[in-house]
Amino acid sequence: MNLRQQQQKVFDESGENLVVGSEQHCPVEPSILADITEDSPLVVSVIRSGLTAEVFHLRIDGKDYNLKKRRQVAKVANLDGQYSFLNEVQRRNDLQQLKEQSETAPRLTHIVPTIYANYRLGIILSPWIEGEHISEVTPDLIQQLFTTLLACEEHGLMEWDLCSGNLLVDQHQQLWLFDFGYMYSFNPKKDFNSNGIADPLFHMVERFETRFFFGWLLKQDHSLTEQLELYRTLKQMGVDVYQQKVAWLKVHQAKATVINHFESLIETWQRALACDDELRHLFQLESFRSHVLDIEDDIDGQSCTELTLQRISLVLDVLRSDFDYLKERGGLFYANKGKSQQALIEQYEQKRELAQKYQLR
Ligand SMILES: Nc1ncnc2c1ncn2[C@@H]1O[C@H](COP(=O)(O)OP(=O)(O)OP(=O)(O)O)[C@@H](O)[C@H]1O
Ligand SMILES: [Mg+2]
């Protein structure tokens, strides 16, 4: 158990409550919200995708709301999953405070407001956002996402789960973030991310690439040239946002290790942006990294799909064709580090069998 999980366990067992917002802003009594089921006349529709919560679209006195209700028993076995509802109420508390202060509010306009949340009642109430999960990667949407994430990080909050299901785009092409079950706190001046300095691999641009971009690309029908153009845009915006991050880190006298880390990402990306050959190499390296990370998540959670199999095929292709390059450029990390080409190919063939066994039906 890490420190955060320990603290969340202590809080959970203490019986203490955490309430965000005021009961007065609730359109009905909180206890009524807590008892809502799909049969309630207030319910427009139910979204059952969640593992730890059920989500209801409510209409009360002509106004639309989103109610997230904790499941009695979480469907995820791991600790982060078990504490994700508590974690979300905690982060909603942090974010709502920042959204209510005039100095910090303007950069958090893409964060869905919390009208009312009550941990012990197991409810989080927000306005309903009429929109769709992100399906196009435009410079404008990336910009909205990265600037919001940068603001969150300056406040010591890092979002890990930037999957399409957690990114809504409304009719005005405004992006909305609303699921904070895996947003963790960290010290942006001392840490690379919420794992301290242990895992430099993870950062906000990588999170978007891993949880959304490269998987989404596999499902599109784009030519390699088109994929590279989208990737170029993404990297350009990544450079821009990390330049802003570095400027902030310097002003706030952050540790040199943190500044150097982000400066070195910027340099690598700028080299790629200046040379098509480099861009192709980096694309291969970063897509390989993202697929490797997401394959692990799917197999760990025994929640594999057709996309997991596609990712595994791609990883196998790259291992067969570009092993030496991967090895040289740090493409083999964690459990893959130090293994031979043959061993890795066999390992991913085994993972393919596991992924076939764990297909969600
Ligand atoms: N404020 C909102 N307005 C409109 N739709 C929303 C809102 N909040 C969530 N949704 C919809 O509900 C879905 C599920 O919500 P959310 O991501 O918060 O929970 P979850 O991921 O299902 O739960 P878990 O955290 O247990 O995985 C989202 O993918 C989105 O489509
Ligand atoms: Mg979600």
Q: pLDDT (tens digit, 9 = 90+) per residue, 142-171?
A: 999 999 999 999 999 999 999 999 999 999
User: pLDDT band at residue 84, thresholds of 50, 70 and 90?
Assistant: very high
φ, ψ of residue 68 to 5 degrees: the values are -105, 120
Q: In angstroms, rounded to a whole number, what is the distance separating the alpha carbons of residues 356 and 347?
A: 14
Q: What is the pLDDT of residue 250?
A: 98
Q: How far is CA 53 from the centre of its chain?
A: 17
Amino acid present at 48: R
Across the range 302-311, mean pLDDT stands at 93
The model carries a pTM of 0.97
pLDDT at 188 over 70: yes
Backbone angles phi, psi at 74, to 5 degrees: -65, 145
Q: Best of 45, 46, 51, 55 to mutate for ligand 1, by most ligand atoms within 8 A of CB?
A: 55
Instruction: Determine the distance separating the centroid of ligand 2 and the alpha carbon of 337, expressed in angstroms.
Output: 32
Closest by Cα among 281, 197, 193 to 235:
281
pLDDT in tens, 103-134: 999 999 999 999 999 999 999 999 999 999 99
- Confidence grade of residue 88 (pLDDT, cut at 50, 70, 90): very high
Helices (H), 55-187: 79-82, 84-99, 139-154
Could you give the CA distance from residue 361 to residue 352 in angstroms, rounded to a whole number? 17
Whether the pLDDT of residue 245 is over 80: the answer is yes
Contact by Cβ (8 Å): 89, 18: yes
What is the chain's Cα-based Rg?
A: 21
Closest Cα to residue 318, out of 284, 350, 295? 284
Q: In sequence order, which residues have a C-beta less than 8 Å from that of residue 98 and are 6 or more positions away?
A: 104, 105, 108, 155
The confidence band for 50, taking pLDDT boundaries of 50, 70 and 90, is: confident
Q: Hey, which residues does 43 pair with through a beta bridge?
A: 58
In which band, very low, low, confident or very high, does the pLDDT at 87 lie, cut at 50, 70 and 90?
very high
Mean pLDDT for all residues in the chain: 96
Alpha carbon separation from 50 to 56, 71, 75 (Å, rounded)? 11, 9, 9
Mutation pick for ligand 1 pocket among 124, 130, 170, 178 (CB with most ligand atoms within 8 Å) = 178
pLDDT value of position 138: 97
pLDDT for residue 76: 67
DSSP-derived letter for residue 211 is I
If you average pLDDT over residues 205-216, what whole number do you get?
A: 98
- Measure the N-to-C terminal CA separation of the chain; round to a whole number of Å: 32
Q: Is the CB of 55 under 6 A from ligand 1?
A: yes
Tokens of 174: 């405004």
Domain ranges of the chain: 1-128
Asked if residue 181 has its Cβ within 6 Å of ligand 1, the reply is yes
Quickly count helices (H) and strands (E) in the chain: 12, 11
333-347 average pLDDT score:
98
Residue with tokens 């993972």: 351
Overall average pLDDT of the 325-335 stretch: 96
Query: How does residue 77 score in pLDDT terms, banded at 50, 70 and 90?
Result: low
